[in-house]
Structure formats: structure tokens, C-alpha cells
Amino acid sequence: MLTIKGFFLAGLVSFILTPFVRRLCLKMDWMDVPKDARRVHKKPIPRIGGIAIYLAFLLAMLVYCPLNRESIGLLVGASVIVLSGFIDDTKGLTPRGKLIFQALAALCLVWGGSSIEFFTNPTPGHELVYLGYLGIPLTIFWVAGITNSINLIDGLDGLASGVTMISAISLLFIAQRYQQTQVVVVAAILAGACLGFLFFNFNPASIFMGDTGALLLGFVLSYISIEGVMKSVAAIAIFLPVIILGVPIFDTTFAMLRRAISGRGIMSADKGHLHHRLLNKGLSQRETVAVLYLISILFGILANIVSRLPAKDAMTVCVIIIVLVFLLASLFGMFSSKGTQE
């Protein structure tokens, strides 16, 4: 019941607040101006809608989630991330500055007890391998990776918010199976906040979430994946969030490999992301987003099916999925830099 209530409260608050935030952006001139070829919109759009998502998430969390060390660590970390996004949206923030904020936010999770503490050896016996202090840098790496991957796919109307909503719901079902009650509530609240915002963010969008929102969504997803899946003793626990978050994770991985192969900096921008490729194939914004929604749903269904298989079979299926994804990406030209320059 808390799951449903949290979902609807977050969705309602996000839906109500977004128009007010939009007016604030117009008043303060917080606009996303299409100044380079990567941007597909043609006119300035209010850009800090993530404030509405954050406030909806915060309120629903305070109402429906127990205020313990874990949730406090999550909320403080989320606030740190939102602050970094707001600074970047309004003043600009260097990549190094963003990483510092993300490391601080990840340390808030660690303080709250939400860290990668062990992994399960997938070989026969499935002994737990405890990481000790090594879990701290691994947690920072995971949080920064997921946080930035969501930010990188935030290139089309409704893409990041919709994919996050789908991923949160997929993670919710697995966390529920592992009896991670608090994580289930957090996932529902995140999904609801995304849905309320999506009414204004779907094409043609009247407001963008900006880094303020995209970084927040990625950060909360990283928490959900750590606490709801990775802390289980299942042999495939590490693979499930990778599959569920396949759209942002694989797209980011392909981008880094593509840039490395071409001799460019892996953090440099280009027009080679999956949504750019689909647009170049002649799909409209809505069609492209719909395709990526369907892929995200497929990944979520596959992960939930895999989570119910015997360990050996599950591992085999996970490896097959990852190999197939890389083969399809190669056929689709995801590793080629041809035509991706700005």
C-alpha cells in the first residue's frame, strides 16, 4: 500500500509543481538555447524542471519512507547531486567538479550503509567475496557511472524520464522479490515523480529537466540497484541492474569505446548516441523515444525472468544477452565515429 501511495503522491506533486517551476525558469531566464548540432529542439526551452522532480521525490520520501540512516544518506546525497546539477545548469560546472559532487553524494550513501559490500562468486558454491574498504571506491564508481549515463541519454523529449520510470519499476519487482521493502517504496516514488513530470516533458516538451533532474534520476537509480539488487546473495546480482539499465549503460559504454577507438577523449561530446542514430534513420523524436522505451521494457522483462532461473542458467543467459547486445551494436555502427562529429 505504501508503494502505491508513494507512487501517486510523488506523481501528483511533480505534476502540480512542474508548471510553477516552468514559470520560474522563464522569469529567471533559465533556458536551454539550441546552440549546437547535438540539440534537436529549435527554440529556447525552460531547462531546470528537475527541481519539480526533486521536491516531489523529497516530499513523498518524508511522508512514506522511514527516516533512518539509510534514507537520510539517500536524501542528503540526492540534495548534493541536485545542487551540482543546478550549478551546472545556471553557471556551468567542469567535469571534474561534477565528479567531486558525485563522489560526495556516493559517500553519503556509504555513510547510510548503502554500499557495494560484497559480490557472489558465480562459480559452484557461490561463496560471498567481501570487499571491505574496496567497496567504497567501487560504490563511488557505480554511482558516478549510473548518474552520468542517465544524463548522457537526456537528449530527446521524455527519454531520460521515461527510461528511468521503466527501469525503476523493473528494479522494484526484483527488490520486492528480495524483500527489500524500503527500496521498493523508493523505486515507486521515483517512478511516480518521473511520470508526473513526463506529462510536460514528452514531445513536444514544454520544459526540460536539465542536469538538475537527470543527475538526480541516475543517482537514485544507483541507490536502488545497490540496495535492492546487489546486496542480495544471488550469483547474478551484479548482472541484473546492468541489464535493467541497459539503455543508458550500454549507450554510455559504446560512446566511450567509440571515442577511444577514434582517438578522442572519452568524455567528449558527439552525435553518435543511439537516439542520434535512430533519428538519422528517419525516425521522429516520438518514434525514437518509443523504440528506446520498448528496449528498456524488454531489458526489464528479461532481467526479471533471469532472476528466477537457476544460477548456472541465469549466468549463461546474462552472458548471451551482453554478447548479443555488443554484436547488434557493432552491426548498427555504434563503434564507428563516422558522421558523429558536431
CB atoms within 10 A of CB 225: 29
- Asked if 187 contacts 175 with a C-beta cutoff of 8 angstroms, the reply is yes
- As a whole number of angstroms, the distance between CA 309 and CA 65 comes to 31
- What distance separates the 2 farthest-apart alpha carbons in the chain? 61
CB atoms within 10 A of CB 319: 11
- Nearest of 46, 53, 59 to residue 81 by alpha carbon: 53
How many Å from the N-terminal Cα to the C-terminal Cα in the chain? 48
The three three-digit cell numbers of residue 144, written as one number:
558516478
Annotation-wise, does 68 bind a ligand? no
Annotation-wise, does 211 bind a ligand? yes
H helix or E strand, kind and range, residue 45: strand 45-46
- As a whole number of angstroms, the distance between CA 113 and CA 209 comes to 29
Residues comprising the binding site for Mg(2+)? Answer: 151, 211
Residues comprising the binding site? Answer: 151, 211
